Structure 1
Amino acid sequence: MFNIVMPVLIFLMLQYESFHTIFSAPESMEKRPKNCIRGKIPKVDAVRDLLSRIDPKEIEEIHAQTIDVLKRNRVFREGTIGGYVAAGIDGVELFSSTKKSCPDCLSRKNGTRKTEYFHRSVVCMTVGKSPHVIFGQEMLKPRDGSEKDEGELTGAKRLIRHLKKSHGHFADVIMADALYLNAPFINTLKECGLETVIRLKDERRLLFQDAESMFQRDKGRKRSFRKGKKSIEVWDLSGFEIDLTWTIS
């Protein structure tokens, strides 16, 4: 069992593209981490058959123990970006069907007005330097909210609290897209001692317009540099006209 479960977990965490390539193709033998598979290499059918009979909770426990070992061995002691351990958080859809469903399925109407059942989760993983490690994922439930954004934010807050409780200070900075520019989510990060970088691209937002106005007046501290063919400007600003203060509940 170890010869199957442990390699599968490691390959998932390191984002190998194909189990079939890893377990079956001779040209892939050099790709397997040393000491990960001992003895005879299992066939893909054997891997699939065994995984179908494993309790997912057991895999979650193995994964949590692996994260603790990575922390204990200081794998990220130099950080992943600029000396900081940066982790991205985002929602991902895992499965959809108009025919199969379970009590935990989310549902929606597709283009033909048929009810479509699907599973979606929020995933948190390191970004920047390799290895890219998945810290954890939180499955979204129907009770999390009927709207996509509401459900994803609810799951994200639950995931951050779970990771903090299970692994302590697992990261320094959480990176997210504009959906996460949300007071309750940012409050959750602050409660857990985490900083955040959120990408804001909607020019209609008052915060964006306020920042643009300050850029034009040459406010704050500015640093410019080039990355390839791109010219990048970094601004350190304060004194926004809109209220950026959130009260931690």
Structure 2
Amino acid sequence: MDRAVTSANLMGAFAQQQVETQTAEFPVPHDDGQTRKASKKKRHALSERREKRRRAAQSVLQMRRNLGLETSQRPTPSNVKAPMGETPQEEADGRFELSAEHAEMIRVNLPVLLGHIKHIGDPRDPRKIKHSLTCLMLFGILHFVYQMTSRREANRKMTGAEFTDKLKTFFPEFDSVPHADTLARLLKRIDPAEIEGAHIALVNKLLKNKVFKSRILDGYLTIAIDGTQKTSGNRQWAEEQLQHTTDSGDKTSTRFSVYVVEANIVLPGLCLPLLSEFLTFDDGDPESHKQDCEIKAFRRMVARLKQAMPKRGIRLVLDGLYPNGPTMSLCDDTGWDFMIVLKDGSLPSMWEEFVGLRSLRASTCHNQSWRGREQRFEFVNNIVYSYDSPAKQIKVHIIVCFEREPFVNDSDEIDHRTSKHAWISSKPLTESNLHLRCNLCARGRWQIEESILDEKHRGYTYEHVYSYDWNAMKAFHYLMRLGHLLNTLALASQGIATFVDRLGIKGFFEILTSTVAAMTFDAYRDRLDERMVRKRQLRLVA
């Protein structure tokens, strides 16, 4: 009995000690009203700041209206619940319409592509062929259309029962779904340029059919060119890779990279992949210790563009790497229009002449508003630029745009954001053409940067090589660009644009891939058969 009492006393003392320890470590605040007052004061301050910011935003909006500035907002995806339908049947119907419409818009462009691809020579042993070359190449295109991030993922998802059934239904060219490694082995042995040739054939067909007629400005097809790194590592897996050696003290390290110069067609609201030019170690100059560079690749790109579109009027929009005499003369000799970004520190002699003529009031000014900004343009025509030697000259035209835009700063006060943009133009500038050349064409160059970001981070795995064989790597890259082109055209079509507005691009592809991979279409077989036999045309949204 005494032992039991003693044990109970010890347990009670231990529990009391635990309470005291917890109280010491986590003291309970005394609710004397000060904490509640401080919290209320903080909430009141936040509320006042929100109200101040709201009033400032309203003042900015009214200021823009008084100045006649546009007040349109950037579109965002819908935020509604159950975007595909509130009932299971409505959601199933919506998923079917989405995936079937997307497949139809892809199929619209396949006859031109497959008609070119079927003429590619098949290097395989005819006795061992299980999948036709057309089937394999179509599998490679759809690999990127459905945004598979690797060959393993393609094997895991695209060979499933439901996915295979839909591929055979959507695309009758499939006799069976191949293994991704079979495609990789084929791409090692064919000429990758044949794939890009099919790409060019499709683009030329669309231009001939005047699909982009309402978006082509001033009769010139605007093309943006930009370079980017595809991959880099400390292991050399191909002789064609560029090499970069750095010395840090007593340690020397070499990295091997793949760099690509891309060309995209940039139209209002549309950016279409066109050509890719790879930089290679062999195209450098080993004797002078110079490697291949973006400017050299640009010259090769110009020659290929001229060959691909010999009779097409082309306008190049280029970034601040390209304002130099040889580049501008090359464009001029080719007969192409151009708008090139001119940075502050670039071509000092040209800047000096521009500033000097402006001080003599030889420049022309023009004021306007655009997209919520006040713009002031100053331009000087017929500036003669000499390079290499006085004998080499080219006549160009310079325009500078100063912008001023009201906004609410971090202090919740109305402020003005200013910026400056400058370009070199191949054609004389006037008040009637500067808006088209600067705002609609030259500033559209950002679309190629956004397109490359899409390919790198939004479903196309641009930086994944897919094969450590240089030939196969290039072929996979061209298939990726072709898949991106098909998806861009499909998403801009009238039938799919409504789904994109409702779901956003990321949400659209999440719904698409999950539907094709898992949902059965047995209940929609009749409707699907009707869709697959009717002829469709690609009609883009206005």
TM range (shorter): 0.7 to 0.9
Contact 1:224 1:233 in 2 (8 A): yes
Q: CA deviation at 1:190?
A: 1.6
Q: Residue 77 of structure 1 aligns to which amino acid in structure 2?
A: K
Query: Is structure 2 residue 231 aligned with structure 1 residue 92?
Result: no
Contact 1:3 1:36 in 2 (8 A): no
Query: How do residues 98-113 of structure 1 correspond to structure 2 at under 5 angstroms?
Result: 98-110=234-246, 113=252
In the superposition, relative to structure 1, how do residues 169 and 19 fare at CA in structure 2: closer, same or farther (>3 Å)? farther
Contact 1:140 1:151 in 2 (8 A): yes
Query: Is structure 2 residue 273 aligned with structure 1 residue 144?
Result: no
In the superposition, relative to structure 1, how do residues 214 and 8 fare at CA in structure 2: closer, same or farther (>3 Å)? farther
In the superposition, relative to structure 1, how do residues 209 and 50 fare at CA in structure 2: closer, same or farther (>3 Å)? same
Number of aligned residues: 234
Contact 1:7 1:36 in 2 (8 A): no
Deviates more, 1:215-224 or 1:61-70: 215-224
Whole-Å Cα distance in 1 between the matches of residues 143 and 341 of structure 2?
29
Q: Deviations over 1:114-138 (max 9, x none)?
A: 1111111211111133542222121
Query: Is structure 2 residue 374 aligned with structure 1 residue 231?
Result: yes
Query: Is structure 2 residue 141 aligned with structure 1 residue 18?
Result: no
Corresponding residue for 1:116? Answer: 255
Whole-Å Cα distance in 1 between the matches of residues 270 and 139 of structure 2?
15
In the superposition, relative to structure 1, how do residues 52 and 94 fare at CA in structure 2: closer, same or farther (>3 Å)? farther
In the superposition, relative to structure 1, how do residues 11 and 83 fare at CA in structure 2: closer, same or farther (>3 Å)? farther
Whole-Å Cα distance in 1 between the matches of residues 146 and 378 of structure 2?
38
Corresponding residue for 1:63? Answer: 199
Whole-Å Cα distance in 2 between the matches of residues 94 and 213 of structure 1?
43
Corresponding residue for 2:17? Answer: none
Q: CA deviation at 1:151?
A: 1.7
Corresponding residue for 2:209? Answer: 73
**3-state SS of 2:212 partner:** coil
Task: Output the TM-score relative to the length of structure 2.
Answer: 0.37
Deviates more, 1:156-165 or 1:212-221: 212-221
Query: Is structure 2 residue 246 aligned with structure 1 residue 246?
Result: no
Q: CA deviation at 1:77?
A: 2.7
Identity %: 16
In the superposition, relative to structure 1, how do residues 58 and 162 fare at CA in structure 2: closer, same or farther (>3 Å)? closer
Q: Residue 293 of structure 2 aligns to which amino acid in structure 1?
A: G
From 302, 322, 330, the counterpart of 1:188: 330
Q: Residue 156 of structure 1 aligns to which amino acid in structure 2?
A: F
Query: How do residues 155-174 of structure 1 correspond to structure 2 at under 5 angstroms?
Result: 155-174=297-316
Corresponding residue for 1:50? Answer: 183
Corresponding residue for 1:176? Answer: 318
Q: Residue 62 of structure 1 aligns to which amino acid in structure 2?
A: A
Whole-Å Cα distance in 2 between the matches of residues 36 and 226 of structure 1?
48
Supply the RMSD in Å over aligned alpha carbons: 3.8
Tell me: higher relative CO, structure 1 or 2? Use CA pairs within 8 A at least 6 residues apart.
2
Whole-Å Cα distance in 2 between the matches of residues 10 and 80 of structure 1?
29
Larger helix proportion, structure 1 or 2?
Answer: 2
Q: Deviations over 1:104-159 (max 9, x none)?
A: 111112586411111112111111335422221211222335667x7211111111
Whole-Å Cα distance in 2 between the matches of residues 199 and 114 of structure 1?
35
In the superposition, relative to structure 1, how do residues 88 and 5 fare at CA in structure 2: closer, same or farther (>3 Å)? same
Corresponding residue for 1:32? Answer: none
Whole-Å Cα distance in 2 between the matches of residues 111 and 229 of structure 1?
49
* Structure 2 unaligned blocks of 5 or more: 1-132, 164-168, 388-392, 396-542
In the superposition, relative to structure 1, how do residues 232 and 96 fare at CA in structure 2: closer, same or farther (>3 Å)? same
**3-state SS of 2:259 partner:** strand
Whole-Å Cα distance in 2 between the matches of residues 184 and 57 of structure 1?
27
Corresponding residue for 2:362? Answer: 219
Whole-Å Cα distance in 2 between the matches of residues 75 and 7 of structure 1?
26
Contact 2:323 2:346 in 1 (8 A): no
Q: Residue 337 of structure 2 aligns to which amino acid in structure 1?
A: E
Q: Residue 284 of structure 2 aligns to which amino acid in structure 1?
A: D
* Structure 1 unaligned blocks of 5 or more: 30-34
